[in-house]
Structure 1
Amino acid sequence: MALPKHASTLERVWHYTYLVICVAIFIFLIAPILVIIPLSFNAEPYFTFSDKMLRFDPEGYSMRWYDLLLTFGMQDPEAPRDGSWWADAWANAQWIQATKNSIIIGFFSTVLATTLGTIAALGLSRSEMPGRRAIMAILISPMIVPIIITATGLFFFYSSIRIQDWGVPYLGIILAHATLGIPFVIITVTATLVGFDHSLTRAAANLGADPVTTFLRVQMPLILPGVISGALFAFVTSFDEVVVVLFVGGLDEQTIPRQMWNGIREQISPAILSVATILVIISIALLTVVELLRRRSEKLRGMSPG
C-alpha cells in the first residue's frame, strides 16, 4: 500500500521500517530454499559450494545428481538409453519406486481425506448441530498433537488389529495420512462455507430437489474451490510426511521422504538436494493453484446473493 501524500515523517519512517522488516523475514524464511537449489547442481559430491561454483565456472555445475535419481538401483545404468533402459529404470530405480509409492499413497489418502473432510465440514457449518465446537476441536486435533505422538499411537493401534495381515498394500499409511489430511480439508471447506448463502439450498428444496441433488447441483459448484484447496493441502501433507511412514510403513513401502531419510542416515549424497529442489518446485506449483482457487472462490462468493 502506497503512503498518502499527507503522511507525516514518523509515518513514513515506520512505513519503510515495516517494509525492511518484512523483507528481512522473507529472506530468513526463503534462504534455506535458495541455498538448496544451486547446491543440487554441484559437480562435486559435497553439500557446500565449491570454488568453481563460487567463480561461476561451468565445470563446477552438473546434472549428475538429477541423473542419479534415474539410475540409482538400476540393473544396468550404463546401457544405451533406449526403451529397455527406461523399462529398467521404471522397474528398479529406487527413487522412481519411492515416487510411485508416494503418488499412490498421496492419491488414495487425499481422496479419503477430501471425502470425509468435506462431509464433516458440511455438518459443522450448520448452526443447529449440537456440540459442533467440541467436534471441530477433536477433528482438527491431528494438526495440534505432535506428529510423533500420532505415529506412536497409530503404531500400537495397527499392531493390535494386525493391519499388516489384511493383505491390502499401503493401507496403514493411507489411513494414517488421511487422518493427517482431514483437518486441512475441514478448515478450507468450512472457510468456504462461511460465505455460502444457505437460502440457495432452501430454494432448491422448495423446488423439489432431494438433498443429494441439492449438494451436487447447488452447493458443490460453489464450494468446489475450497474442496480442491483442501485436497491439495492433504496431498502435500501426505507427500511430505515421513514420521508416520517410519512407524507404520513396511520395508517395501518406501516413499520419497523416507528415501531421503535413509539417504541421510546411510550415505550422504547431493542427490537428496536434487529431490528437495524438485519437491520445492512441486510445492510452489501447488501453492500457486491454491491461490488461484482462493481468488476464484472469492469471486464466486461475491456473485452469490446476499
Structure 2
Amino acid sequence: MTQRYSVLLWLTGGLVVLFLIAPILAIMPLSFNSEPFFTYPMPGLSLRWYEEFFTSNVWLMSLKNSLIVAVCATILATFLGTLAAIGLARKECPVRGLIMAILISPMIVPIVVSAVGIYYAFAAVGLLNSLTGLILAHTALGAPFVLITVSASLAGFDYNLMRAAANLGARPHTATLQIMLPMIAPGVFSGALFAFATSFDEVVVALFLTGSEERTLPKQMWSGVREQLSPTIAAVATMLILLSTLLLIVMLWLQNRAEKQKQRLEG
C-alpha cells in the first residue's frame, strides 16, 4: 500500500510539473522553425532567428541595456541588502520586525502598484527615461532577495567568532570582512543571482520608466509581441530560459555548498 501510494504521488507530481513546463517545451522548438509561423508540424529547421537576433541593432541594444541595468542593480542590491541583513541580525536592533517588513515589501506589493509609485516618485526628480532611474528601481526590487538569503545565512553564523576576533584586537569592519563575509558568501552570491534574474527579466517597471532609447530585452520582447510577432522572440525566450536554468543550477550548488559548510562547522 505504501509503495502504491508513493508511485501515485510521484506520478501526480510529474503530471503537475509537465503541465507547468508544457508551454516552455512548446515554444522552444519554434525558435528553430525555418518559416516565420508559430505552427506545428514545422516545415524545417533553421537558425535564422538566432542569426537575426545577433545581427539586429535593435535587439543587441536592448540586450546591452539589460546587461548594464542588471549588473549595476545587482551590485547595488547586493551591497545594500547585505548591509541591511547584517544590521537586522543584531538582537539589539529596535523594531527589527517592522523594518524587515518594510524592506521586503517590494516582494509582496503587486509589481504594477510598485511601478506606479516609482513612476510618480522618479518623475518628481527627473529620473524618467533613463537607465539610472531603471537601475535604482531594480535595486529596490532586488535588494529584498539579498536580504532574505543573507539573513538565512546569518541565522547559522556563530557570533562567538566575531567576539574572538575582537578579543584579538580586530576592528569590527575587519572582522566582518575577513570572518563573517567569507562564511556567508554562498548566501550573498545566491541573493545576487536572484537580484540579477529579477532585474534581467523585469518588464513592468521598465514599461513605466523607460523610453524608446532605453529599451531592455524584456521590453523589446513585449513590444515585438504587440507590434510584429516574430520567431525571433521565441529565440530570445529560449535563451532566457537557458539562462534562468543556469542561474537556478548555480543557486542550488551554492545552497548545497552552504549546507555542507554549516555541517562541517557543527561537526
TM-score grouping bracket, smaller chain normalisation:
over 0.9
**Pairing partner for 1:65 from 41, 44, 49:** 49
Is residue 128–residue 210 contact of structure 2 (8 Å, CA) maintained in 1? Answer: no
Counterpart residue identity of residue 70, structure 1: F
What is the match of residue 137 of structure 2?
A: 176
From 281, 289, 301, the equivalent of 2:250 is 289
Equivalent residue number for residue 25 of structure 2:
34
Instruction: Show the counterpart of 2:61.
Output: 97
- Structure number with the bigger relative contact order (C-alpha 8 A, sep ≥ 6) is 2
Higher Cα Rg: structure 1 or 2?
A: 1
Deviations 1:15-59 (A, max 9, x none): 11111111111111111111111111111111121353xxxxxxx
* Cα deviation, residue 284, structure 1: 0.8
Question: Alpha-carbon deviation of 1:305?
Answer: 4.9
Task: Provide the secondary structure at the position in 2 that maps to 1:190.
Answer: helix
8 Å Cα contact 2:50/2:235 also seen in 1: yes
User: Match of 2:86?
Assistant: 122
**1:15 alignment partner in structure 2:** 6
- Kindly state the Cα deviation for residue 163 of structure 1 after the two structures are TM-superposed: 2.5
Post-superposition offset of 1:145: 0.4
Q: Conserved in 2, the CA contact under 8 Å of 1:197 and 1:305?
A: no
Paired residue for 2:16?
25
What TM-score does the superposition give when structure 2 sets the normalisation length? 0.97
Partner Cα separation in structure 2 for residue 50 and residue 253 of structure 1:
37
SS of equivalent to 1:197: coil
- Letter of the aligned partner of 2:17 in structure 1? F
AA partner of residue 10 (structure 2): L
Letter in 1 for 2:219: R
**Residue of structure 2 aligned with 1:238, choices 171, 180, 199:** 199
Structure 2, gaps ≥5 residues long: none
The amino acid across from 2:136 in the alignment is: L
Structure-1 residue corresponding to 2:41: 50
- Which string of whole-angstrom CA distances, capped at 9 and with x for unpartnered residues, describes residues 120-167 of structure 1? 1111112221111111111000001000010001111111122259xx
2:222 is matched with: 261
Aligned residues: CA RMSD: 1.3
Contact between 1:263 and 1:272, CA under 8 Å: does it hold in 2?
yes
Could you tell me whether the CA contact under 8 Å between 2:33 and 2:42 is conserved in 1? no
The yes-or-no answer on 1:206 pairing with 2:197 is no
Contact 2:34 2:42 in 1 (8 A): no
On the 8 A contact 2:207/2:219 being kept in 1, the answer is yes
Aligned residue type for 2:4: V
Alpha carbons 2:34, 2:45 under 8 Å: kept: yes
Identity %: 51
Secondary structure of residue in 1 paired with 2:212: coil
User: 1:71 Cα deviation (Å)?
Assistant: 2.7
Structure with the largest fraction of helix: 2
Write the distance in 1 (CA, Å) between the matches of 2:261 and 2:72: 29
Q: How big is the shift at 1:177?
A: 0.2
